[in-house]
Copies of this chain bind each other. A is one copy, B any other.
């Protein structure tokens, strides 16, 4: 018995410590929720002033899909004859709205079009009920807005596997239709947010033959973000006049250079949807070869893609991973993604630790070609490793000082060929764990 007492004492102490941990964790979560109300990486200046796009009007409403008193349904009405292109998740378990949109892209261009989106519930993995919910929403939007069902696009984002209370949405269509106006895109951007800490918008204007052409887009997404897009919804509107197949090809190619090059947590959503609608209201015709329009659309897409990373769940660092000199473009991408997705690299960045050994590890594990002795690794402009070892000029203090920046570049040259890739990611922090260990409960 005498021998038991110290053990009992230790057990009691342990229980007290565990209780203290729970208390500290709760306090910490609360303190963090104040300071991290908006991602520290959010673009300065808040939501940008987006131009109105001829032929598109917006409205949003708090329909109570999941939470009360926040905008959660948006409607965009698009003038007759618009070309609509799209890119979607490749997930094998994609949501009912995604399947419906995929059937409609490339179909008729006759009549007006509408886009209706809700947050709070993704209507994914909801069986046949999910399809019925989409059908009910599409039918009501078609009736109220006077557009063909084949031109009504839906998207849903939020919790997976719970029935979508679609009546809450259909009950709002008349109000949304009545309220729609060209200037309300900012409300739409807010209505599609889930764990996002800021609404995301980007725009670009070019002038062709003296006539302005405008592009404005909104996006949501902050977790479940990896190629094949992420829990990401992106809606872009332009007044350019363009053939649908031309727009579609351009959108797919640019998606590969932008949204498919970002990763927050390597997880891919069942709901990713990117839609681009071109109304033609500018009366400027864009062809496949059109450099300036393509470049402007690329800029808007890259800007929105980077904003999604900047709002990565718990992110405190925005990281560009640049791989050059790979044996092929595919190898470059494989290496870049292995680095960007490595939990050990991402936690080192969170800890402001210039732990280039973990970058070496990630390259080694990626499966793509690498030669230890030809590899060069840079943090920003600082040459960290070369010739199979730490660079003789590298000083740990320099690396440590560089890691304190909010925006980092990790550059790797493989020394093997011409393959290049750039991807964007963020660090992996306590806040990511917090957000995702609690999201549903």
**Which residues does A use to contact B, with CB under 8 Å?**
14, 17-18, 20-21, 24-25, 27-28, 31-32, 34-35, 89, 91-94, 122, 124-130, 159-162, 223-224, 226, 228, 265-270, 341-344, 347-348, 350-353, 355-358, 360-373, 375, 385, 387-390, 400, 428-430, 432-434, 436-441
Tell whether, in the assembled complex, residue A14 and residue B28 are in contact, meaning their CB atoms are under 8 Å apart.
no
Contact among B89, B160, B344 for A265, CB-based, below 8 A: B344
Q: Which residues of B contact A387 (CB under 8 A)?
A: 127
The oligomer's copy count stands at: 2
Q: Which residues of B contact A27 (CB under 8 A)?
A: 24
Q: In the complex, what residue of chain B is closest to A362 when comparing beta carbons?
A: B267
- Name 5 A/B residue pairs within 8 A (Cβ), A-sorted: A14-B35, A24-B31, A93-B370, A347-B433, A430-B433
- Rounded to whole Å, the gap between the CB of A397 and the closest CB of chain B is 12
Contact among B228, B365, B429 for A267, CB-based, below 8 A: B365
Contact among B161, B267, B348, B375 for A437, CB-based, below 8 A: B348
Contact among B24, B92, B126, B159 for A24, CB-based, below 8 A: B24
Contact among B32, B224, B355, B361 for A344, CB-based, below 8 A: B224
Q: Which residues of B contact A373 (CB under 8 A)?
A: 127
Tell whether, in the assembled complex, residue A364 and residue B91 are in contact, meaning their CB atoms are under 8 Å apart.
yes
Tell whether, in the assembled complex, residue B356 and residue A92 are in contact, meaning their CB atoms are under 8 Å apart.
no
Q: In the complex, what residue of chain B is closest to A129 when comparing beta carbons?
A: B389
Tell whether, in the assembled complex, residue A437 and residue B350 are in contact, meaning their CB atoms are under 8 Å apart.
yes
- Rounded to whole Å, the gap between the CB of A386 and the closest CB of chain B is 9
Tell whether, in the assembled complex, residue A224 and residue B361 are in contact, meaning their CB atoms are under 8 Å apart.
yes
Tell whether, in the assembled complex, residue B439 and residue A428 are in contact, meaning their CB atoms are under 8 Å apart.
no
Tell whether, in the assembled complex, residue A441 and residue B353 are in contact, meaning their CB atoms are under 8 Å apart.
yes
- Rounded to whole Å, the gap between the CB of A26 and the closest CB of chain B is 10
- Rounded to whole Å, the gap between the CB of A195 and the closest CB of chain B is 11
Tell whether, in the assembled complex, residue B429 and residue A125 are in contact, meaning their CB atoms are under 8 Å apart.
no
Beyond A125-B372, A127-B387, A388-B125, is A364–B93 a contact (Cβ under 8 Å)? yes
Q: Which residues of B contact A268 (CB under 8 A)?
A: 361, 364-365
Q: In the complex, what residue of chain B is closest to A126 when comparing beta carbons?
A: B389
Contact among B18, B93, B266 for A341, CB-based, below 8 A: B266
Q: Which residues of B contact A122 (CB under 8 A)?
A: 357
Tell whether, in the assembled complex, residue A364 and residue B437 are in contact, meaning their CB atoms are under 8 Å apart.
no
Q: In the complex, what residue of chain B is closest to A441 when comparing beta carbons?
A: B353
A35 to B401, CA, bound (A): 33
- Rounded to whole Å, the gap between the CB of A126 and the closest CB of chain B is 6
A371 to B125, CA, bound (A): 11
Beyond A17-B34, A34-B17, is A124–B360 a contact (Cβ under 8 Å)? yes
Beyond A28-B28, A129-B389, A389-B125, is A270–B364 a contact (Cβ under 8 Å)? yes
Q: Which residues of B contact A226 (CB under 8 A)?
A: 365
Tell whether, in the assembled complex, residue B358 and residue A160 are in contact, meaning their CB atoms are under 8 Å apart.
yes
Tell whether, in the assembled complex, residue A385 and residue B125 are in contact, meaning their CB atoms are under 8 Å apart.
yes
- Rounded to whole Å, the gap between the CB of A439 and the closest CB of chain B is 7
A344 to B343, CA, bound (A): 13
